[in-house]
Amino acid sequence: MSKRASLLIASLLLARIALARQAPSQKDSAPAPKRDVSGLWHYEGTGASEPIAPDSLIPPMTPWAKAKFDQERPGYGPRRAPGGNDPILQCDPSGFPRIMFLNTPFELVQIPGRVIQFFEHEHEYRTIWTDGRELPKDPDPTWYGYAIGHWEGNDTLVVESAGYNDKTWLGSSGYPHSENMQITERYHRVDHDTIAYDITINDPKAYTAPIVGPHRTMRLRPHDEMVEEICVHSEEQSFHDRVAAPTVFKGQK
């Protein structure tokens, strides 16, 4: 068989596989329910921990943020360094929005006046108030902030949040943020099984312009269940000693 024929057959096989993968979502897709984002959702990303945005979409840092960034030593990724000081390596909370872009699901539960967002990773949750209140003027800084939401039309939940502490990173590369960070999210339920997700971060103390994340897709997982995934410090330390640290030192030889 010629090389060209082999390539043609391979192309046809790949096309059939792609169509087979698309068919279920097209067949099973139903209209989005009105003002409802309930369900177990999974971010359709790379399958690995992702930053809030790729480096090309991160605006220049302020001197304050650059000084913090230069002190960070990621435990993995292209900037990994011995003695990594990524907060999650010692079981500190991932915080928001970093937890959104891990390869683990989250569940949205709607009750009158609020939406509760449960995360499989670290078994954490946050409340999104939808009762018409405003963001507090001077909230106490926390790992997951204070969030309020309202509907645009019948298919988009807009969430605004503030009140974050500055102990978390915006991804494994070590991008920092300040306690002045404010976040706007848009959960646009395109159809029954799909949410188009957009996020914008405003933090003038840390960045010279807003960080606008790329468009992302969340898929409904109606038959999945969240498992207990708790960070246990002794297990993290064991992984560091057996795997992470030897890998870093080997790579630097």
Whole-number pLDDT of residue 22: 40
Residue 10 lies in a domain: no
- Is residue 15 a part of any domain in this protein? no
Contact 195, 217 (CB under 8 A): yes
Lowest mean pLDDT among 42-51, 125-134, 171-180, 232-241: 232-241
Residue 112's SS3 state is coil
* Band of pLDDT at residue 173, cut at 50, 70 and 90: confident
CA–CA separation, 89 and 25 (whole Å): 37
Band of residue 112 on the pLDDT scale cut at 50, 70, 90: very high
Cα dihedral angle (54, 60, 65, 69), rounded to 10 degrees?
A: 50
Tell me which residue range forms the domain holding 200.
Answer: 30-251
- Rounded Cα gap, residues 118 and 186, in angstroms: 17
What's the CATH code of the domain at 229? 2.40.128.20
Please list, in sequence order, all residues whose beta carbon lies within 8 angstroms of the beta carbon of residue 81, skipping any fewer than 6 positions away. Answer: 73, 74, 248
Does the residue 210 lie in any domain? yes
pLDDT of residue 172: 84
Q: How many residues belong to the chain?
A: 253
Count up the domains in the chain and report the number.
1
Q: What pLDDT, on the 0 to 100 scale, is given for residue 6?
A: 40
Identify the CA nearest to 97 among candidates 171, 158, 155: 171
Q: How confident is residue 176, by pLDDT bands cut at 50, 70 and 90?
A: very high
The residue to which tokens 């959960």 are assigned: 187
User: pLDDT (tens digit, 9 = 90+) per residue, 75-86?
Assistant: 766 677 777 788
Does the residue 14 lie in any domain? no
Residue 43 near residue 213 (C-beta atoms within 8 A): no
In this predicted structure, which of 29-43, 87-101, 163-177, 235-249 has the lowest mean pLDDT?
235-249
Q: What is the C-alpha separation between 73 and 251, in angstroms, rounded?
A: 15
d(CA 251, CA 247): 6
Q: Poorest-confidence range of 21-35, 164-178, 195-209? A: 21-35
pTM, to two decimals:
0.81
pLDDT digits (tens, 9 = 90+) for 203-253: 999 999 999 999 999 999 999 999 998 888 766 666 556 655 665 545 555
Listing DSSP states for 11-35 in one string gives HHHHHHHHHHHHHHHHHH--PPPTT
Q: Give the model confidence (pLDDT) of 117-170 as tens digits.
A: 999 999 999 999 999 999 999 999 999 999 999 999 999 999 999 999 999 999
- pLDDT at position 1 over 50: no
Mean pLDDT score, 175-204: 98
Contact (CB, 8 A) for 170 and 98: yes
pLDDT of residue 8: 33
